[in-house]
Amino acid sequence: MRLLVVGAGSTGGYIGGRLAQIGRDVTFLVRPARAEQLRRDGLRILSPLGDAAVEPHLVTAGTLESPFDAILLSVKGFQLDAALDDLRPAVGPETMILPVLNGMRHMETLARRFSPESLVGCALKIATVLDEEGRVAHLTPLQDLAYGELDGSTTRRIEALHELMQAGGFRPRLSREIRREMWEKWVLLAAIGAVTCLMRAPIGEIEAAPGGVAFALAVLDEAAAIVRAVGASPSEAFLSATRDQLKAKGSPLTSSMYRDLQKGRPVEVENIIGDLVRYAAERGIATPLLAAAYAHLTVYQNRIAGT
């Protein structure tokens, strides 16, 4: 199976790099500057589960010539439109598209641009960043990759995909409830993102502050209420585990938005927070804390963009 990884940042670099490490047929679609860096230094992974260094097979926009069996789409939400133009030649009638983006709006975009049948549900929970040298830094042992057909069926193509992914060393899961898992991931990202970005601190410091736990749990309740109204209801087991994460003493847990914010980079405020706030407004659901986080991060985003 030929796999195209769109983006060799921290997420695509990790998953694609692990598969390339064991000799799978993986190609990375990257920007020219990233291609130059990777050709010079190779794709390097630093991880508590073992480091790796591979010489990746790279292509850039305009050089794709034939469809791939599967495409792992691993770009930021604000990079999606440009990426879709670049990857179009790689999509054939049988191509599976696995988006590991945040939020859910991208599923509508992909279905309109290609076809609903090409989409495979995917939910990835992992903490990775690119360091100053362009290396993929895997921050914690967590690497939970789940995927499945959106209707919950077991098909020949999803079994072939599962066989490919199992060899990567990151214990992926074939899920028959991937749609619910995708909505749950959005709840998790929105809650942790809003809490850590508003408070400018990891969870442990927020928990130690007066009212910190109550604030964090209230944000979670807002996100869960919206998703119940517009998507797949989160399970009680998921909500219980997320509450525990949000009130864990001494926890260093932060969000990718918080880490980007600390480095002065653009954040996925529209995909992770903005879309939820808009869904809530359409249905008359009060979300004062998420709305505050949205306004706060929009001010930041506009400032770094110079607008």
Residue 185 annotated among the catalytic residues of the structure: yes
Contact 6, 13 (CB under 8 A): no
Which entry of 185, 247, 249, 263 is annotated as an active-site residue?
Answer: 185
**Positions marked active-site:** 185
